[in-house]
Structure 1
């Protein structure tokens, strides 16, 4: 089943938000796209710019700058808004300020009568997704973040390049926090139907497990390198948001590594973290539990502890 009029509201028209909007337009993912920003003039300009490209797009789309009232009949509200870190500001202070920004966003969205899916991209995405869930009061399955979807795409790209195969035939995931404590569960990584670790062992030294760890580190530090080179990352995450939105609107039941609340899975409770999930029109249909090794489970536990501690340090009264 597909929605008759697929409507998406984007909140935040910065580089991430507009990379998402541009990707949505080029892929024809929705029928109606509403742009909301505290700077309404900017939102109007962005809508105008996108509309001028409609003649070259593969499908028609209604694009306009709107208000929170426009969320009432939306299928997805995507949040890419937030404040940047100030010089000398602690991560906790930044979190606290972004929590207040989200309160000013989520309350009017829910007051509009919105009853769809929240998709969060603002960093630190796992914590901001949990904040969205707490403020909105929505069922956690209808509030998800981009999680490690982009990290997983980076991983598959690098693995495909290393093994000389199409990245779409690399079945591997990045799990945990979208950040420094993320990890790759190599025990679950496959090239087609063959475990990657077996491919390495059977290659006669052509492929090595040491290189797998180098690839894992390259994935973890990719954002730092991009930020150092061009100050921000936005194209990749914009396309990741589009892929998740397409899974929701198309009721695809696709497996994506989004930020979802764990409720007993992997022995964890009430923490949002990047894990493989089945995503459809209801949001997270279910969390897929993979058979992690003892070491991999410890890495996931440590990542969850980091996220839980960060959230608990916030003043959410």
Structure 2
């Protein structure tokens, strides 16, 4: 998932691999049908999972604590692991409008100096449009707040 952390987040279905094999292209080659509606329902379930946890428990502190510990471990041990973190996405991806300073969740390589780099993400045309929409959603909120 990339983009805004919320309703306009983007599932990068084209990047999902199993054993190094791209999942969707493998299904297509084997002529195994899948429906875009099913993929969208899965994406929506992921987006809504945070709301469900909050509804049931009232908070999500354990997940936040675990995530922070994992990020700190990668940085302090200079592990250079990839984590989905919010970073300034200006001019990083084709799906982000040029010149707009928005922070999006992207796969970033973390090491001792922080963000060492952003993983090159290949986007399908549809994913690029969705990421652009996600970036625009955040941009519009920033404009309303005067940021």
Could you state the TM-score of these two structures normalised by the residue count of structure 2? Answer: 0.85
Question: Of the two, which has the highest radius of gyration?
Answer: 1
The aligned residue for residue 55 of structure 2 is: 228
Q: 1:303 aligns with which of 117, 134, 140?
A: 134
The aligned residue for residue 108 of structure 2 is: 277
* In 1: Cα distance, 2:144 partner to 2:26 partner: 44
Q: 1:249 aligns with which of 76, 95, 99?
A: 76
Greater relative contact order (CA < 8 Å, ≥ 6 in sequence): 2
Give the 3 Å change call, closer, same or farther, for CA 235–199 of structure 1 in structure 2: farther
**Map 1:52-63 → 2, pairs under 5 A:** none
* In 2: Cα distance, 1:241 partner to 1:211 partner: 32
The aligned residue for residue 194 of structure 1 is: 21
DSSP 3-state at the match of 1:246: helix
The aligned residue for residue 122 of structure 2 is: 291
DSSP 3-state at the match of 2:140: helix
The CA deviation at 1:203 is: 7.5
DSSP 3-state at the match of 1:279: strand
C-alpha contact (below 8 Å) 1:265/1:289 kept by paired residues = no
Give the 3 Å change call, closer, same or farther, for CA 315–263 of structure 1 in structure 2: closer
Counting matched residue pairs gives 141
**Map 1:1-317 → 2, pairs under 5 A:** 174-201=1-28, 202=30, 204=32, 208-209=34-35, 210-267=37-94, 268=96, 269-315=100-146
Give the 3 Å change call, closer, same or farther, for CA 249–295 of structure 1 in structure 2: same
The CA deviation at 1:200 is: 3.5
* In 1: Cα distance, 2:121 partner to 2:134 partner: 16
Question: CA RMSD of the aligned region, Å?
Answer: 1.9
* In 2: Cα distance, 1:223 partner to 1:203 partner: 34
